[in-house]
Chain A
Amino acid sequence: MKTSKRIVLRFPQRLVDRPIVYHLIRDFDLAFNILKASITPDKEGLMVLEITGEREAYDKGIAYLNEAGVKIDSLNREVTRNENRCTHCGACVTMCPVDAFSIDEDNREINFDAKKCIVCGICIQACPPRAMELHF
């Protein structure tokens, strides 16, 4: 059975120069999509991945990451829209890197597709009436 999950990986400094994610593909046949990647000033690496693959392979891959010393959290943040505050201006549309916002041609309102959202947060500050909210 296929599974697809979004997880947050935290790489301690001693691991940042090891090709960990590469092994996920080669050894476990998992597909991954990098949603966010950064290295903090104290050289800890952070990566948000969407991993897709067979359930068994996925579990093995996670076990491999654990063993290697990567700290794993599930991605439990989400961006939501406060419908009472949204004025449907559209300032968000070109800000979103994954086209989660679209214009409804009929009523000229702005649709927000939370399924596409990668929780990058760019829309939150760029929204003029501050209708986009981050939830933990």
Chain B
Amino acid sequence: MQKTLEEINQRIREGKAVVLTAEEIVGYTREKGLKAAFKEVDVVTTGTFGPMCSSGVYFNMGHTTPRMKLGGGRAYLNDVSAYAAFAAADLFIGANALPDDDPRNRIHPGEFNYGGGYVIEELVAGKDIRLEASAYGTDCYPRRRLSSYLNIKDLNEAVLFNMRNAYQNYNVAVNLSDKTIYTYMGVLKPNMGNINYCTAGMLSPLLNDPYYRTIGIGSRIFLGGGVGYVAWQGTQHNPGVARTEGGVPKGGAGTLAVIGDLKQMDARYLVGTSMLGYGVTLSVGIGVPIPILSEEILQSTLVTDDDIVGTVIDYSSAYPNLRPGAVAEVTYAQLRSGSVDINGKNIPTASLCSYSRAREIAVKLKTWVEQGKFEITSPVAPLPGIDSGLKVRPFNERPLGDTNHHIL
């Protein structure tokens, strides 16, 4: 038996849709049985909240008087450099951008207390942002300098774009060396002194739809507290990785590129984030609804932390040197218990993404759907699946000859 999306959306419009979160559906189906649960449940909501470095915001600030061509000039937002290589009045700021005078890692480990992620958080929170820009001046755009406050409410468009988010599973990080290391997976103590992980496990969007049956290009989602859309597969989308019998990838697999109107988002779900010794980023909240169109789709939303396996990678040597090989495999249930045993050693675990906020997002999205405010879209095109042959390739390095160096 199948359900159509139109039937589900009809129930959403009437305020009659039965919606459960990815946590709730597990117990519900256990109690009712798969067939009965499939008949009753229309939508399962997922959520995730964690550092997502490939995030940025572009905006159009309107034309100044006299006009100024920012494209090809330079621009700073709260001293953080923005990308100014588009048209006259558009800027893009990336989550990892730093002020020019940040010491970076010259004093190791650098603190990275401010950068693009924080500018985005302040912009969405409605705070005034300092803009300083210079341009070369043309006959049609004569102005050369601008320094002004800027506020999101005055911008023509402000758009969050993330080119790689909501990773379908991810590495679990340890440090096998004898000194502390500072990574995007957090501070890792020597000799496997701790173990860090970063997925929302059974709440995570793509782990509840492991074969991308309902999530695709055009899917309407919860993004940063507002409504957004899946724009494309994310960069490094890698559907062909090893999977468990249940189809759950054992490492980083699918990713989403997402887009949405920053003006209706909320700083609670877009938080400037610093990783000691690594850099600045943005923690992003994403929630994806899964329409329960078939028993098969329902079955995949029953995934629990026991079913999700993370691959433990050594971030002191194997990861930086792009060497294959895993230290161990552990389930998310083990990771969430607070400690795991690896080679006879009991190692405390910590998460870098917030499970409580992932749950909050799934519940919030559930409420939106229940209240008839959020209908489910049918993807206009699927994401490349396991048969696509698509896989991540390492950089193909072809060194320049000595005579071809220009910069370094």
Enumerate chain A interface residues (CB-CB to B < 8 A): 85, 87-95, 103, 107-109, 125-126, 128-130
Contacts and interface: CB of A to CB of B under 8 A. Distances in A.
B271 A90 contact: no
Contact of B111 (A88, A91, A125): A125
Nearest to A104: B356
Contacts, number: 68
Nearest to B49: A87
A87 B357 contact: yes
B194 A107 contact: no
Nearest to B198: A89
Contact of A130 (B274, B349, B352): B274
Interface in B330-368: 338, 348-357, 359
Contacts of A93: 338, 348, 350
Contacts of B51: 128
B283 interface: yes
A6 to B, nearest CB: 26
B350 A91 contact: yes
Contacts of B355: 88, 90, 108
Nearest to B185: A91
Contacts of B354: 87-90
B359 A128 contact: no
B276 interface: yes
Contacts of B187: 91, 95, 126
B113 to A, nearest CB: 6
A128 B350 contact: no
B348 A109 contact: no
A126 B278 CA distance: 11
Given A89-B50, A89-B352, A108-B359, A128 B111 contact: no
Given A103-B338, A128-B275, A91 B357 contact: no
A87 B350 contact: no
Interface string B192-205: 01111000000000
A90 B111 CA distance: 19
A108 B356 contact: yes
